[in-house]
Structure 1
Amino acid sequence: MVTRAVFIIAFVASVAVADPAQYLDCGSSAKLHSVDVTPCPASVTCGLIRGENASIAVTFTTEKVANSVVAVVHAIVAGVPLPFPLPNPDGCQDSGLECPLNSSTTYTHTTILPVKSGYPMTI
């Protein structure tokens, strides 16, 4: 049986410079501790900026051994969660993780999220 850690995160944010970026855990199979978006000052959360890339780091603790990791992001637009595709949803490749992941261990998954210019101003 293949065990998989899955991050399901919804961003509730404005695609603008100074609005707060928040996340909701929408059923991850690991315990999420934080979602950090860069570029942002360490003490400030911020929104996503259209036309730029956001670097996202998700710190989590596994509940069991995981042979694979899948990252899933949705944006909430008009109250409806819509897929926000990641260029590389495979958390075992180019994400700072080395699979398999051990049980009850804290890890940080990193990815680049392109915020396309055509995305709506408020998500």
Structure 2
Amino acid sequence: MSPTRATLVLLAVVPLALGIHYKDCGSKGATVSSVQIKPCGNGPKCILIRGKSATLDITFTAGEESKSATASVHGKVSGVPFFVPFDLPNDNACTAGGMTCPVVKNSTQHYSQSIAIKKIFPPVSALVKWEILDENKNDMICLLIPVQLR
């Protein structure tokens, strides 16, 4: 393989290796362009270490206008058939998450939130449902992120 072709293959594979695995679960007209959790790793599940903090960063293009934005987080532990709410210290996605509000349709939005992964949390696999809600509590974006607590 030529050096140029090897470089192109590497450039095509590296972004996939660095991105986290997530599934859109009902983003309303929004286009999610980037989702990162630091630290996380690059496997099929994001590895979160109990007793540490993790930061979620989402970049998306808004599909609608909204005067405000609120974050909502739920977790579903393996074997449990429903999502359990997770309290954020401040769920205001504008002031605590760094979004630009009011949200303008087609604007690029950046949301960032740090959360403490408490030692009291059990070492389990879970599915995290992270939503950014508009002023009417409808999903602007909705992401399902598989995680492993260690």
Residue number in structure 2 paired with 1:92: 94
Ranges of 4+ aligned residues in structure 1 off by more than 2 Å? 21-35
Find 2:110's aligned residue among 108, 113, 117. Answer: 108
Question: Judging changes above 3 Å, is the alpha-carbon distance between structure 1 residues 120 and 80 closer, same or farther for their aligned structure 2 residues?
Answer: farther
Alignment of 1:1-123 (within 5 A): 22-29=21-28, 30-40=30-40, 44=42, 46-78=46-78, 79-122=81-124, 123=126
Check whether the contact 1:88–1:111 (CA below 8 A) recurs between aligned residues. no
Residue by residue over 1:28-69, the C-alpha shift from the partner in whole angstroms, topping out at 9 and shown as x without a partner, is: 44443332101246xx35321111111111122211111111
Q: Any gaps of 5 or more consecutive residues in structure 1?
A: 1-20
Query: Do the aligned partners of residues 25 and 120 (structure 1) sit closer, same or farther apart at CA in structure 2, a change above 3 Å counting?
Result: farther
* Greater Cα offset, 61-70 or 26-35: 26-35
Matched residue count: 102
Between structures 1 and 2, the one with greater helix share: 2
SS of residue in 1 equivalent to 2:100: coil
Q: 1:24 to 1:87 in 2, by over 3 A?
A: farther
The percent of aligned pairs where both chains have the same amino acid is 36
What code does the residue aligned with 1:96 have? G
One-letter amino acid matched to 1:49: I
Q: Give 1:98 shift.
A: 2.4
How far residue 85 of structure 1 moved from its aligned partner, in angstroms, is 1.8
- Structure 2 counterpart of 1:9: none
Give the alignment's Cα RMSD to 1 decimal. Answer: 2.3
Which whole-Å deviations, capped at 9, do the CAs of 1:1-29 have from their partners, x for residues lacking one?
xxxxxxxxxxxxxxxxxxxx643444344
8 Å Cα contact 2:73/2:86 also seen in 1: yes
**Residue 39 of structure 2 contacts residue 48 of structure 2 at CA under 8 Å; is this kept in 1?**
no
- Change over 3 Å in CA distance of 1:101–1:35 after alignment to 2: same
